[in-house]
Amino acid sequence: MKRNHLPLKEFINQLKSTLKGKYNAAVWPIAGITLLYLALTALLALLFTRSAMMLGYATMLIMYGMISQVLLAVVEALGILILWFLVTFGMYFVNMSILYSYQDQIKNPNLKVSATTIWKHFKHLNKNQLLRLTLYSSLFIFLWTLPLDIVAALAAKNQALVIAVRIVNFLITFWKTLEYSQAPLLYRDQQPAFLGQSMRHALTASRRFMGGKKLSFFTIEFVVSFLPMLVWGAIFGGVAYYGNYTAIYFIMYAGLIIMLLGFCAYAPVVYLATAQFYEQSKPQSPISVEDAFVKTFKPVEALTGEAYDDAADESVAVDDSEPIVENQK
């Protein structure tokens, strides 16, 4: 029987079964990569803050004709922003590599997610297509929220209206995020068909595939991924706050470190939950992967231009006509 809802208890039991005996091989590379990303992000944030302060100081020197200091500060800030974008997109590709590794493990229980499998997927990712996919997703969500942002800007004096618009915009963003959540996995299942095609087709397919599944996906992600991390963060975040409040900095730093390590240790569960939802939903879904992509891809003739080649049509018409017989004397 086809259904959109996945039983939570059954999902958690399957999650435990998949992780059993294979958690240790995955947690070290995932935790290491996560800590490295957080360290780089924190370092770049500090550098950008310093650069912004230097830029503010340099602007005061313009009155003395020292415009070169401003240019140097601007170049430094732009360089840090470029590095931040590179690190962010690099982590996005790593996330996709981990997600695809867990998808393979679900399909083949003999496989294990490890540093080797993550690196293999990272090397063979079509990064251009995935980059276009995330840019399309961000663009569409932005366009969905833009009209209400304009309304909020025009009605800035009416605080009640502005708050209402912000709430509606948040709900739209949340809804569209759920709709587009399966796009990377649907794209992977149909990757050969995306040659020369627009990546927005993956978003269309995800929107169709998630019809009737959004509540189930949100429930699973909230209970399995978000809630345990929220509880862990509240406990040790509270410990860190107590240490800061009482000026016992050992307790503060210990609370922060334990909280961060706990998040890193739980990361494999978060990745696996997303991949498992997709793989468990496919055989039970009223909409198959193939149905989700119906009437999305352009035919090859349209991509190559043959469908619009009038000269080719005329040559075909001549070939199909009656043979011409010359008059003999």
Please say if the pLDDT value at position 217 is more than 90: yes
Q: Considering the domain boundaries, does residue 173 fall inside one?
A: no
CA atoms lying within 13 Å on the CB side of residue 257: 7
For residue 315, is it within any domain?
no
The tokens describing 166, both together, are 């912000």
What does the pLDDT average to over 31-47? Answer: 93
Residue 314 lies in a domain: no
155 found inside a domain: no
208 lies in some domain: yes
pLDDT beyond 90 at 57: no
Residue 136 lies in a domain: no
pLDDT beyond 80 at 204: yes
Question: Mean pLDDT score of the chain, rounded to an integer?
Answer: 87
- Per-residue confidence at 328, pLDDT binned at 50, 70, 90? very low
User: What mean pLDDT is predicted for residues 290-294?
Assistant: 90
- How many angstroms separate the Cα of 211 from the Cα of each of 5, 126, 208, 289? 11, 27, 5, 12
This prediction has a pTM of 0.86
Q: Tens of pLDDT along 80-99?
A: 999 999 999 999 999 999 99
Rounded average pLDDT over 173-201: 93
The answer to the question of residue 320 being in a domain is no
Q: What is the mean pLDDT of residues 308-328?
A: 53
Rg (CA), the chain: 27
Mean of the pLDDT values across residues 102-110? 93
pLDDT at 2: 65
Range of the domain at 89: 8-14+21-125+180-297
How many domains, the chain?
A: 1
pLDDT of 170 over the 90 cut: yes
Is residue 133 a part of any domain in this protein?
A: no
